[in-house]
Structure 1
Amino acid sequence: MKRLLAVVLILGGVLIGGSYLMTGRLPWVALSEEEKQVAELREAFGLIRQQWQTAGQTQALGVDASSQIEGPLAKLEQIDKDLEALMPRLKTYEARNQAKQLRHDIDTFKAEMK
């Protein structure tokens, strides 16, 4: 019985530790409001990236995809502006780090677009 309890405790510790290493937070801690705002921007950026890739595949087939490209570019500029406005208001360390990572990802994506 003691061994079973020890195995369960160790397994639980490993799962919680793995979750913490992967996400940077404990499983029972909810996102702050700031982190939710950054996560929404990251999700919108992910959709833009997918739309851009789809437009690129369409162009590779020889189809005019200029209308598919203009939409994501306008949305990307809006996300960029929203992130710039949000960054000075972020107070939590985690939200600031996530915003900096998103800024880096957006800049990298813009550089790849050229």
Structure 2
Amino acid sequence: MIAALLVCAAVTFALRFLPMQVAHRYRDREDLRELSTLLPAGLMLILVAYTLLEADSGVQLSRLVLAAVVAVLVNLGSRNFLLGFLAGFAAYSLSGLALG
């Protein structure tokens, strides 16, 4: 059991440490810098699209769209991801009370 934990710990450490060492070498490349600015938004867009496509009903889809719109608007207005996240979460939760 301890051997398995040590192997898991070593793999976890390597998966976090090695990419940072490789990234350090290529830090000044312009194409990687551009990719690092676009990647978070692209991943978020994929997650939102997947979530909206997997909605079970029209009511759930409308709640999800409302929450996404509120989160984006608050994020754009405040430039604060946490506030946008909390506003979207609150919109989704409160719309569940209103829409059932």
Tell me if both proteins adopt one fold, taking TM over 0.5 as the criterion.
no
Higher relative contact order (Cα pairs below 8 Å, separated by 6+ residues): 1
Higher helix fraction: Structure 1 or Structure 2? Answer: 2
